[in-house]
Structure 1
Amino acid sequence: MRDVIVIGAGGGGPVVAKELAAQGLDVLMLEAGPRHADPREQWTSFENDANNPLTGYFRFGPTDRSKPAWFREWPQNSFVWQLSGVGGTTQHFYGNYPRAYPGVFNDYAGPDRAEYDVAHRFPFGYAELVPYFEWVEATAPVMTAAMGTKEQTFFRGCETLGLPVQTTKTTLGPSYRPQENAILQPGGNAGKTSDRNLLTFPDATGCTFCGYCFQGCMRPVGAPRNQFAKRSTDNSYVPMALTADVWAPGGRPVELITDAYVTRIHTERRAGELVATGVTWRDNASGAEHREEAEVVVMAGGCTENPRLWFNSGLPNPNGWVGRGYTDHFFDWVIGAFDDYTGHSKGVGSSARLDHPPYGGLENVGLPPALTAFSTALSDSGIRGHYTNGRGPTGPWDGPGGRLPGPELKELLRHGVDRLLAILVITDDDVEPDNRVTLSALPADENGPIPKVVFQHRRRSARTNRNREFMARKAAEVLRGAGARKVYRIDWAPLILHVQSSMRMGESERDSVLDANAETRAVRRLFVADNSALANALGGPNPTLTTQAVATRTAERIFRTYFGGDPWVRDGSPVVSTDPRISVRLGELGR
């Protein structure tokens, strides 16, 4: 009998595992995908090798890449970009860690309160979450981003909007700033040279400005795993979880099993309540099934897999909200062509942002060449000028939105990608009940009935559409102000990447799966600790920091409720030792 079983080792699961292991609990973490224990040997900088959704090492599938990726059904023009494996989708994220806007919490009383999704607020106040934000920011650690030419260009455009520079971690109003991200600052030779011979650890530490964030971080060369620059959970929380006995007095190391696909959550009746008792998991290599019992089970398999597992386990869904509210950030892509060098493909992928509550935000995003081509072709409007779907066909950009045709694309890229500046539009979306995960009628795979993602992309709320149009125009204004000679709006089809809320916590049992402690209302001792637990779209900020702050709070609630522990977050002090000797030691353990 385990104390806790955590299902999934992506962005949220390792947080709960690490926190509870530090308190001495016996924690088993099961991950359906692989563990890339030696990225220098297993990864490359080739974009297709990493990101091909069928064969790439960053795909949703088992370790053995000769086997097919796991299939989901999505009947609309969309792509669910989720990764399996230790680190989950944080393996290819850009490390951006902004806090959620205060307006999405139930204690917000600002004059623009009604401009948010007030029907789907967090069931606690922003002030209550601040110590947990601080805890994660200290643990990751989160730092002000290292910047270069593309960020300088972005800020030049922001200056023309008349907005202030944000100087606080909490977003208080429209403003712009460097990103707060979980990427170690360059040290030593890093950021000062492109000579590979000089960019080895410890002569170079932190970000080396390689520009390959989306292919996974494996630099500086020679660094121990937990000194890799980008603090994806495979480089941060997972090493801490696996070595909790080293750095935490009384801590107990987490047991991690990979290629372990959980197919069922088991329950029993106790005193009239349904209670989680354990799981069955399947070994991807052998096909053998194993059963594990636990006092508490934590679901952290992601917004698509959590509802699938719930349905395949036959768990009750009394209000019909399991899988509903599948929410993204209604992304759009606005790109500017410049006469001068911008460094679009160089350095940290995203180091500058503009926040504009209650509408959403903008991020400067740099990409290597293949992903730049992908981003300019992912349109819901078809070829530019040939089709319009009624969403802002005209505006402060050149011509209608849409994918660039051949001659215009050649003109855009004739000087390469480093005279471009790309801005990602991140919209504050309403939680839409009709956006949901159900079980597909297509044949089951080896792990049971597969999920179907139903996404009403073209039936967003009026507020969501208003927010996206507002932020797309702001993006064009930034690019014009920065000196772009041409500005193009791509009108992205749904790239379901910042996805959240499919197992949402909420103020009312009528439209939420989780209570304020992230425990499921229908099954006791069953918790959710990933993006699917989030109550809403956060106002637009990237979800990782809020997910991990909520997961830390959830771990504390588990410890207090079911293991008789005391709260450990009081003043935002970090639980992780900052002693560099311990930090290096963790990497040397090679776990």
Structure 2
Amino acid sequence: MVEDSYDAVVVGAGGDGPVTAWKLAEAGLSVLVLEAGPFYGNEQWPRPNEEPGGEASSSPEDLSGDLLDEQFTTREFEMITKLVFGPADHERGFWFRKFPGDGAILQCAGVGGTTLHYTGCHPRAYPASIDEQGHWPIEYADLIPYYQEVEEMCDVTPAPVTAKEELFFRGAADAGWDLIEDLNVTEPGYRPQPNAIRQPDEKLHVDAGYDGDFTYPDVEGDTLALGNIAGNPHPRGAPYEEKSKRASNVSFVPPALRTGNVTIRPNAFVTDVITVTPRGDTPTAIGVEFRDTWSGSVEQVDSDVVVLAAGAIETPRLWLNADLPANEWVGRGLTIHFGDNVMGLWDPDDLDETIGSDTIDQHEGQDIAARFDYPGVGMLQTVGTAPGIGAILGFGASASGFAFQNDTAGEPWDTIGRLAGTELKRLLSDYRRMLQILVVSDDRPHQRNGVTVAPGAADEHGPIPIVNYEPSEGDRQRRDELARIAADILREAGASHVHRSDSPPTALHVHSTMRMGKVVDEACEAYDVNRLFVADHSVLANGVGGANPTNTGQALAARTGEKIVERHF
């Protein structure tokens, strides 16, 4: 049952909102979390996409691993469609956002947010991106205790090695790079990915000869069945909290509910922040207004503190659509880790000589289990995908047009651009002997990039977000440098053909639109509105150097929860 008033309202139950809610609830505060999307794996909503179900959930007893197994099928297209940003009732269509060119915004709605389809990657920011780029009002050292806390909550460990990681490590070592063993990365090199995915059961070791059905309790932890991008309920049969991928719905929602102080209401899209303004004073947030996405009814709830955690697109959209003070940096400074894809193809004899097998089978193991870090430039990651996603990322879109139009003389790749016809068929038919590397650059915040709204383009929740992104020349140079390093690693590992996508901008990691030091202060409280805090990736003052942002976003969200208690309670 949702009350009329709480100590704190958190807008959004994605990757970061549950972390702040847990911190506030641990301090004894009453917390309401409003989430626009559905709540999968909760017995209050046994058919979340077909009917409204209950109103809210306040008990961990509502969480069901069996129900999550039923709802998360891991069928690729079905799950991507289910988790795309939109209402629980998919017959109503997705929530539209405008993004330039051929790019896309990859985000989810629902409790767990985009961590429902993230690949578990949980590295820390590069220290230099916080201490040396001049964007942050805090130091890297301020985040370390929160990193440690989040990593313990999420069971972060080095990813297990399968054939694709072994091949990448061999290529990186032969290219002259060093193995990194420190969590706080200051020099370039390669290492296993720190993943928020529990280690696989020892009985799954290659020499153990396991011949079971990979279900709980026979198998605990990761089953090495690819599918983290599509929910990942593995191991099947496990209780809700024992699922191997530690998305925020699994890692932070249960302990938040166990405090007895947290209520989560899904299907509640917040459309306004309610403020009062004493004469001559700064506005103060006193609650929010939200719309039930099933019934369309509009409700208001009061609170002593409002925390915006709707993500780096919806948080500035909410600010811009609400009657809140103008700030030239609200929605501005967007970073998306301007990326690319570089793919290698091997001859079977060369593979057998290198790794003792004539296939790589990048669909086996954890989706992203190896990485190359280059502070100041960005990172590379091996990408294990099913053929459909791999084809889309690697061959389906390009800023360079079709590959047959492009001259690659003097370049380290054999082809660049969008593949079609015979060449596409040739490479895809050899999918099991391919390795895909994702390029993730350290793009920097520019005020021209970001989120705006326009009254002429609106949905039922108000003007929609219009996203603009144009990389700078420096951003392009860093991406090109990483692409060349990726091609070199693939060549050193023995690839006979290297293809570069030259991918259009895609908002895979989205941050920096409500930046610390510009829109919010060092505690993430808004400069222009008292008792209004931001606790999501939008407050990251830059793209944390190119490292996957989930760990930093959650560490900062935990810190923000503590700061809220210190300042106002």
Under a length normalisation based on structure 1, what TM-score does the superposition of the two structures give? Answer: 0.87
**What are the superposed Cα offsets for residues 544-565 of structure 1, whole Å, 9 maximum, x if unpaired?**
00000111111110011111xx
Map of 1:26-65 to 2, 5 A cutoff? Answer: 26-37=30-41, 38-51=67-80, 56-65=81-90
Secondary structure in 1 aligned to 2:429?
A: coil
Q: Structure 1 residues 397, 297: closer, same or farther in 2, change over 3 A?
A: same
Identify the residue that residue 379 of structure 1 maps to in structure 2: 398
Structure 1 residue 300 corresponds to structure 2 residue 309: yes
CA distance in 1, matches of 2:70, 2:225: 17
CA distance in 2, matches of 1:154, 1:440: 46
**What are the superposed Cα offsets for residues 479-525 of structure 1, whole Å, 9 maximum, x if unpaired?**
0011111000001111101110011112xxxxx11111111111111
1:215 deviates by 1.0
Identify the residue that residue 494 of structure 1 maps to in structure 2: 505
Question: Alignment partner for residue 446 of structure 2, among 420, 432, 436?
Answer: 432
Residue 129 of structure 2 contacts residue 376 of structure 2 at CA under 8 Å; is this kept in 1? no
Residue 182 of structure 1 contacts residue 231 of structure 1 at CA under 8 Å; is this kept in 2? yes
1:202 deviates by 1.5
Identify the residue that residue 581 of structure 1 maps to in structure 2: none
Identify the residue that residue 171 of structure 1 maps to in structure 2: 185
Identify the residue that residue 87 of structure 1 maps to in structure 2: 112
Residue 188 of structure 1 contacts residue 205 of structure 1 at CA under 8 Å; is this kept in 2? no
1:267 deviates by 0.6
1:341 alignment partner AA: T
1:188 deviates by 4.9
Secondary structure in 1 aligned to 2:287?
A: strand
CA distance in 2, matches of 1:479, 1:450: 42
CA distance in 2, matches of 1:329, 1:194: 41
1:304 deviates by 1.0
Identify the residue that residue 547 of structure 2 maps to in structure 1: 541
Identify the residue that residue 412 of structure 2 maps to in structure 1: 396
2:545 alignment partner AA: G
Note the residue ranges of structure 1 that are not aligned, 5 or more in a row.
Answer: 109-117, 245-251, 507-511, 564-591
Structure 1 residue 238 corresponds to structure 2 residue 247: no
Structure 1 residue 98 corresponds to structure 2 residue 104: no
Map of 1:281-296 to 2, 5 A cutoff? Answer: 281-296=290-305
1:97 alignment partner AA: H
1:466 deviates by 1.5
Residue 220 of structure 1 contacts residue 229 of structure 1 at CA under 8 Å; is this kept in 2? yes
1:288 deviates by 0.9
CA distance in 1, matches of 2:462, 2:376: 41
Map of 1:554-565 to 2, 5 A cutoff? Answer: 554-563=560-569
1:24 deviates by 1.3
1:213 alignment partner AA: N
Identify the residue that residue 66 of structure 1 maps to in structure 2: 91
Secondary structure in 2 aligned to 1:440?
A: strand
Question: Alignment partner for residue 365 of structure 2, among 313, 322, 347?
Answer: 347
Identify the residue that residue 580 of structure 1 maps to in structure 2: none
1:258 alignment partner AA: P
**What are the superposed Cα offsets for residues 519-549 of structure 1, whole Å, 9 maximum, x if unpaired?**
1111111111111010001111000000001
Structure 1 residue 142 corresponds to structure 2 residue 160: no
Map of 1:203-222 to 2, 5 A cutoff? Answer: 203-222=218-237
Q: What count of residue pairs does the alignment treat as equivalent?
A: 527
Residue 189 of structure 1 contacts residue 203 of structure 1 at CA under 8 Å; is this kept in 2? no
Identify the residue that residue 103 of structure 2 maps to in structure 1: 78
Residue 164 of structure 1 contacts residue 174 of structure 1 at CA under 8 Å; is this kept in 2? yes
Range with greater deviation from structure 2 (76-85 or 330-339): 76-85
Secondary structure in 2 aligned to 1:452?
A: strand
Under a length normalisation based on structure 2, what TM-score does the superposition of the two structures give? Answer: 0.90
Residue 164 of structure 2 contacts residue 435 of structure 2 at CA under 8 Å; is this kept in 1? yes
**What are the superposed Cα offsets for residues 115-135 of structure 1, whole Å, 9 maximum, x if unpaired?**
xxx35x211111121111111
1:190 deviates by 4.1
Question: Alignment partner for residue 520 of structure 1, among 522, 526, 531?
Answer: 526
Question: Alignment partner for residue 160 of structure 1, among 174, 195, 205?
Answer: 174
CA distance in 1, matches of 2:33, 2:397: 36
Range with greater deviation from structure 2 (379-388 or 348-357): 379-388
Residue 269 of structure 2 contacts residue 290 of structure 2 at CA under 8 Å; is this kept in 1? yes
1:451 deviates by 1.1
**What are the superposed Cα offsets for residues 444-483 of structure 1, whole Å, 9 maximum, x if unpaired?**
2111111111222xxx223212211110000001100111
Secondary structure in 2 aligned to 1:333?
A: strand
Identify the residue that residue 530 of structure 1 maps to in structure 2: 536
Identify the residue that residue 455 of structure 1 maps to in structure 2: 469
Residue 204 of structure 2 contacts residue 210 of structure 2 at CA under 8 Å; is this kept in 1? no
1:273 deviates by 1.8
Identify the residue that residue 351 of structure 2 maps to in structure 1: none
1:462 alignment partner AA: E
Question: Alignment partner for residue 375 of structure 2, among 357, 371, 377?
Answer: 357
2:346 alignment partner AA: F
1:438 deviates by 0.7
1:347 alignment partner AA: G
CA distance in 1, matches of 2:165, 2:290: 46
2:509 alignment partner AA: H
- The two structures, once aligned, show a CA RMSD in angstroms of 1.7
CA distance in 2, matches of 1:290, 1:3: 17
1:384 alignment partner AA: A
1:253 deviates by 3.3
Range with greater deviation from structure 2 (463-472 or 434-443): 434-443
Residue 8 of structure 1 contacts residue 30 of structure 1 at CA under 8 Å; is this kept in 2? yes
1:451 alignment partner AA: P
Range with greater deviation from structure 2 (495-504 or 406-415): 406-415
CA distance in 1, matches of 2:149, 2:317: 31
1:194 deviates by 9.6
Secondary structure in 2 aligned to 1:451?
A: strand
Residue 335 of structure 2 contacts residue 542 of structure 2 at CA under 8 Å; is this kept in 1? yes
CA distance in 1, matches of 2:186, 2:276: 47
Secondary structure in 2 aligned to 1:219?
A: coil
1:191 deviates by 5.2
CA distance in 1, matches of 2:126, 2:100: 32
Q: Structure 1 residues 21, 329: closer, same or farther in 2, change over 3 A?
A: same
1:387 deviates by 5.7
1:189 deviates by 3.8
Identify the residue that residue 257 of structure 1 maps to in structure 2: 265
1:212 deviates by 1.1
**What are the superposed Cα offsets for residues 303-325 of structure 1, whole Å, 9 maximum, x if unpaired?**
1111110011121123x110001
Identify the residue that residue 268 of structure 1 maps to in structure 2: 276
Secondary structure in 2 aligned to 1:73?
A: coil
Q: Structure 1 residues 487, 465: closer, same or farther in 2, change over 3 A?
A: same
**What are the superposed Cα offsets for residues 32-87 of structure 1, whole Å, 9 maximum, x if unpaired?**
00111122111222211112xxxx11111111121111111224332111111111
Identify the residue that residue 247 of structure 1 maps to in structure 2: none
Residue 442 of structure 1 contacts residue 450 of structure 1 at CA under 8 Å; is this kept in 2? no
Structure 1 residue 13 corresponds to structure 2 residue 29: no
Identify the residue that residue 323 of structure 1 maps to in structure 2: 331
CA distance in 2, matches of 1:551, 1:65: 30
Identify the residue that residue 183 of structure 1 maps to in structure 2: 197
CA distance in 2, matches of 1:2, 1:387: 60
Q: Structure 1 residues 196, 123: closer, same or farther in 2, change over 3 A?
A: farther
Identity of aligned residues (%): 43
Secondary structure in 2 aligned to 1:276?
A: strand
Identify the residue that residue 585 of structure 1 maps to in structure 2: none
**What are the superposed Cα offsets for residues 253-289 of structure 1, whole Å, 9 maximum, x if unpaired?**
3100000000100011247121111001111111111
Q: Structure 1 residues 452, 379: closer, same or farther in 2, change over 3 A?
A: same
Residue 11 of structure 1 contacts residue 87 of structure 1 at CA under 8 Å; is this kept in 2? yes
Question: Alignment partner for residue 223 of structure 1, among 238, 242, 265?
Answer: 238
Secondary structure in 2 aligned to 1:444?
A: strand
Range with greater deviation from structure 2 (176-185 or 368-377): 368-377
Structure 1 residue 411 corresponds to structure 2 residue 426: yes
